[in-house]
């Protein structure tokens, strides 16, 4: 695929899948689409706190005609978490800090029905990743 999937495409594909076994496999496949994270970026500064798995998140900015946009790369040592990262990036990558801060990420993820099907550790990890992206966005609006 030449471009990352949009969140809307992921949501449509989720709706098409009949059961959660298929959805978990799909989430894992999404994780395989993440760009590789260079070893040099697997630092303590890029590590997301509050995740049971190891998760690294790197935020970059790009100045465009309409302002700053955020772009993300990341990785995890857990397959399902890599997929959650891919979904989170589909909902956040390329957006302005204001757009990220205005987004109710819980509501976005609720459209997938994920909360009821993730362990409490995975839910906490996802919340930590969302918090990190929002913190990075907030730093740019201060």
Q: Which one from 51, 85, 126, 137 is the annotated catalytic residue?
A: 51
* 63 backbone dihedrals φ, ψ, rounded to 5°: -90, 120
Reduced to 3 states, what is the DSSP secondary structure of residue 70? strand
* Contact of 51 with 77, CB cutoff 8 Å: no
**Annotated catalytic, 111?**
no
Count of CB atoms within 10 A of residue 5's CB?
17
Cα angle for residues 134, 139, 142 (degrees, 5° grid)? 120
Catalytic site positions: 51
């Amino acid at each position: 695929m030449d471009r990352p999937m949009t969140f809307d495409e992921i949501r449509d594909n989720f709706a098409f899948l009949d059961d959660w076994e298929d959805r978990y496999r799909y989430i894992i496949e999404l994780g395989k689409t993440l760009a590789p994270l260079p070893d040099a970026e697997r630092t303590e500064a890029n590590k997301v706190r509050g995740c049971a798995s190891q998760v690294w998140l790197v935020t970059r900015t790009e100045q465009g005609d309409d302002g700053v946009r955020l772009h993300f790369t990341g990785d995890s040592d857990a397959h399902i978490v890599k997929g959650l990262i891919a979904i989170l990036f589909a909902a956040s990558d390329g957006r302005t800090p204001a757009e990220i801060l205005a987004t109710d990420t819980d509501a976005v993820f609720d459209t997938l029905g994920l909360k009821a099907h993730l362990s409490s550790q995975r839910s906490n990890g996802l919340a930590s990743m969302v918090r990190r992206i929002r913190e990075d966005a907030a730093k740019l609006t201060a």
